[in-house]
Amino acid sequence: MKNGKSFLSAFVLIFLFLSFVRVQKKYSVMKIKNLQLSAIAFLFSVIFAFSAVAQTPQTAPPVKDDEIIKVSSRLVVVPVSVTDEAGQPVLGLAARDFRLSEEGRAQQIENVSDAENVPLEIALLIDVSSSVNKIFELEKSAAAQFLQGVMRPEDRATIFLITESPILAQSRDTAANTAIKVRSISSTKSQTAFYDTVMTAAQYLSKNAPSRSRRVILSLSDGEDNYSEVTRKSVLSVVGDLDKITEKDLNKFAKRTESSHKVAQASVLKALQNADTVFYSLNPSGPSVRLNIPSQRAQDALQHFADQTGGTAFLPQFVLERNSASFDQKNAQILEKIFTQISAELRAQYLVQYYSESEFPNNRYVKLDVGLQNPRNLKVRARQGYFAKN
């Protein structure tokens, strides 16, 4: 618009100049023509000059370095539970009461939400495979009572069955409906895809639970896996003709199996961390897990998942002799104590939030350290790290 006005002004000036030349009687015709030619040349010069200006790129004024603002931070949510020496929840804590460091560097806590103000999302994993134990019915009853005791009207629970493939037995529902469903579940004689089920449950919570919620996975299983995708592929790649297997083949199979479980466990932990989920487990096997390598490996994995996410792995001393007169009574008491502890930890759970400005590579595991400014012999459970997402 500005250049258009300049062109118009130039034409007006030339027109006036030519008009002025025509009315000057004292000049000869030749002089007038020369003046007209000069005027025309002047006109083309003006047009060329304005065209050059119009076609010349106009550069914006340089921006000072101190005016450039770069935002490179991500919100990290850390579930934390605080209990006293008696295992009772410690309530009413604020951001000033916590301390948090990321890879050894202190971080500024932006917000702390307590359990009273954040909905609870529970995924209950029930093992119905061939590894089902003698106290299966007691477990179901205790779990149903636990859900009805810990969940509020706004909370939701989901049920997954651990079998040869993950089964969503019930999508997000209330405590009352979930308790009814839990009590109706029956066992099967199928294989056990434990790793696949945990990962499926974590992904389900990540996708379906409200963004601002406390997410928990509670597993009722010994954790032994023989049918998840990664472990199944490992077995099939080694086992050929069973009649011709040598001792060397067995050793090779053992090494391959151990490696496949480590890979699977790493995938499970990553899924749990990415979903901001706290993992709890109740292994009904008791001390017998130490009798064989697969059982001990499974319990070690359960413990690792719980430690890394801020949960607890329970390995109770159940009475396993069914003929014992106190079988039901003692085992019911043990289960009640365990679920009471889980309930207390969930009631004492906080969501500690901060913005990380560190530039970690994508999928890099970042270590966290969470505690209290004034511990006072209080017990803190929190996730030990997260995987960076860029």
Which class for 104: exposed (0-12), middle (13-18), buried (19 or more C-beta within 10 A)?
exposed
Distance CA 278, CA 248 (A): 41
pLDDT at 4 over 90: no
pLDDT at 336 over 60: yes
Distance CA 271, CA 195 (A): 10
Which of the residue ranges 200-209, 318-327, 353-362 would you say has the lowest mean pLDDT?
Answer: 318-327
Distance CA 100, CA 376 (A): 17
pLDDT at 232 over 50: yes
pLDDT at 319 over 50: yes
pLDDT at 111 over 80: yes
Q: What is the pTM of this model?
A: 0.77
Average pLDDT over residues 317-338: 83
Average pLDDT over residues 220-241: 75
pLDDT, position 14: 47
pLDDT, position 237: 59
Distance CA 205, CA 195 (A): 16
Distance CA 81, CA 59 (A): 57
Residue type, 232: R
Under the banding of pLDDT at 50, 70 and 90, the label for residue 325 is: low
In angstroms, what is the C-alpha Rg of the chain? 37
Distance CA 241, CA 104 (A): 53
Distance CA 43, CA 15 (A): 10
Q: Under 8 Å CB-to-CB from 226, ≥6 apart: which residues?
A: 191, 192, 232, 235
pLDDT, position 253: 65
